[in-house]
Structure 1
């Protein structure tokens, strides 16, 4: 299974490549020469922003105080590079904040170059956050603003971003026109080859998506030549990745492998860990395509270790699937199926059904080839079930879209009617004023006109108030999960972002704790009773959580059968009591469904917020990750229980990293690095402490 190789079933992967690789080739525009040493240093770090974002982020952070008073061109490129690096390491909140700073800087100084680059940076961050509509609108605005400037590299940058947006929308003719325009613009730049490399890179990938291999090969030949002339390992590695994608489509596997081995050497040389993971995955997949299962196993195992080190869950899942396929190809049924199922579990948890469908199809073929016909039939049945679910979801989505369109048109008609009424009221008021001037001496008529004017004014105000109330209702509905009517994940992220802003500006952000809970055996309920029963369980759990928690607590449908509760203003010593109240509140009695009952319980992981590791305060995302690891402990130690993080020992920050603690929370507890609490959910054993694993 090749993540970056274009194929009919990998549209989302291709889009990720476009956003992840093409735009980064423009990270090195000409800098102002106000300070040559400073500009040279910034340009050097800028080249690293995508390929080795962790190193670039660290260096850019140390340059922040110097850049605060730097000339406008340096300040512009600093904020653009910094946003790109933060996006590369996954800190989307900071990446968006830096992009917004650049947008404000451009508008405040009437600097369209800065404004266009800020808009492109924002569009890229929104894309990674999967806000495609916002990303595309911002990219098109960036192209419009860049067109007002005389800066050709900036025009190329924005034109490529607009072309990518058209491609993601499926409008290939418009995308092709944009990329050709970007290539023509980039040929005008004689002092920097990066704009041309970026435009050619995007053009190659579009031709691959369109299936036009001859034109893709022609563009790729020039793209690779331009990258080699630049003598930039990162740019050459990106071009070699395109060379592999083209070679696979042409069934030239040996040529593709040569490109991958050269690419891997360059990536390791510059420390581009994430790029190296993708290359190792592609190597294992290339060998799988030729049936060389032992070689495929070797590189899939290397890809798995590298993906775990880079903390890339998607690549971990892909590497496990490739490893499982290689083992099955060699007849190792038990271990091969174990690796395949582990990869499938990640896709199932993410809810990526199209990707899961393709993996199950490969699983069935591999099992059939290995002689496990029963397993192949089971995989086929799972594939059919998911295919049916996707069809049902698409049909439901179409119905909902029609309903939403009808409601939108209905609301628009009401708004138009109100506006017409306002215009009529204004005309009536104008007429009454004219009558007042004409009949000034007629007191009775004047009084009557005043009464009518007052009535019309109140009517207009009432109509405007109704319209405002409807707008508030629409905004509130967008923050709710449609099944449980709890807040959704996007609303929680907005709340946390506002809380972060308050902390940065000296405001009083609420302190408390995050509780992450998962319905026990939910998959078994769905499989045995059907999805309608699962929906009943989820809505009932949501109702019971409202009863168990306070009105001031924020309850969120986190995804699937997972819920998240943010409990502000709670003392550290009361967290176990809150966890117990949640578990007992959910399992207070079985849920009635049709003519029977469904027992239900939850497992809980929790942690205080704010929380510090040594002297470093953790972000709310890191606290959620720790709560998720505590939830995993609860699930693996019998379910219907809660594990919570009270804090870290004084030696933890010296003896270990936060990454190591997140990877194995139980081992970290044994080592004395983390203080854990455990609570049993069974009412009958409420007074019995839940034992933690023996500490070494």
Structure 2
């Protein structure tokens, strides 16, 4: 990120610091050596000059991976600012600390200090510092996925930078703005910012700034599917970076080159560039780039059929994201891992990766739900306070009216009766308004209760409501035929759990707004496909759950087929493009009775079995449904063994599975096709599909 310009009159030390400042970004080792030489001279300089020296020492050590030395320097700068009672120096120290914490993978702490620095910096007259702080706060918002405030901060920083004579802050602001537009998939605006950035870098005659622009151009081009332009930008940038000797930038460009060749399935070149990046990033202590290189090496090995090497490299890369606690990045890497294992034929490993990704997705969804509830509560409390203020104001009006009445009584005794009548009318009106306010309060309470049970995007029930509902039910035992028979047919409940196939592809290709439109379409067609008495729940992310309280046992497969057909036959029109999706299903009758003692499984374990059936559907081709019909020879096994590996239990004959295929269920492009039984046929181990008989692992 950009470093602030020095304020006040320029001394010889100030001039040297100004020259070193830009050099530090690209070749921090050389910059650090010059900064150490300046320490003696700076002792007699102004507070602003000494503060800038400490700031640059901290950032140079951070860029060299010496975070343990950089952090105390940032704290020293904050303490120096407080001693000098300078908000500008304190803000600069907070910003330096944010950078070091981010490099140490403390993302939450880095964001906290970035926001605090921005609030303080905007109260100062240092325009360069305000640009830098606003950019850092905008990047923090973007890393949280909160794009509206991020864009506001970036646009404000660009406008501030245009007021400076120095073009370096403007180059930094335009670069950050173009990267944000890339994240937001606003490619046209991103290329407009990039064109201005390249023009500014040309005026600066800075190979480093031009190399940064080429890196940003690569991101824009690869996201907008201009692969040739992306590759050319990487090659041009690498040439500039090698000329500068900017080791960290070289490592990033090399790993991006490996990623480009990985997309073309050129695994030899992928390994070449990824291994080069790995060596450079390790020399420069760049853990994030090292992790990305390890992931690319793992994907290349898996593509070449070297499963053991691929898994080992992938897991080494994943360890960095787990340490960094960067859940969105970890989620994306786990999806790539699962897809790579699936293409390599390791279905068991793919399912395990998908399970890990699903757990993270559920955590993120739960956080979003809690945030929505807190926002509703805050809104309710605000409205309640406003109502209380309004009532107090009216009460004051009544008291004022009563005082006026007393004065009138003293002066005009013959108007006493009329005054009492008027007072009665006023009290009656106020009483009516109080009653109306109480009625509105009751309506608001009911609305809040309803909103806490519904998913705000789809208006379906949410997971918490379903859990509360199931805990409140007293479901009948399975062995009560006089209660479970109607007209000679076995009436049961049923659970259906479905997941959207390739939903990440929809978000990556069309944007998250298109993904939301797909989820709303699925919710609407689930309402059409099911009955009003059936409970439909948004289970989490792109997962939906349906609970049917009463259905003939022989009709469960038909409901699964109807759900598959209803969704796959529809398309969402989004920005002039038609988006079609399919889903995978897991289902079972409910309650499930594994043994002969008549004891049914708790609903939580039944949902867990249905989830395992869903992942079998995912692992064996998608666009299909796997159902758990029942159990056999349960005395020879246990529920724990079945839950540990559903497919193995099925092959051993302990579980009775059924398969319902969706329309044209041959697998998505790039997925291995597997021989499947006829739709809705009972599946037994002897008649298993080829992919199931060979095992997932």
Larger Rg: 2
Q: TM-score, normalised by structure 1?
A: 0.49
Q: TM-score, normalised by structure 2?
A: 0.49
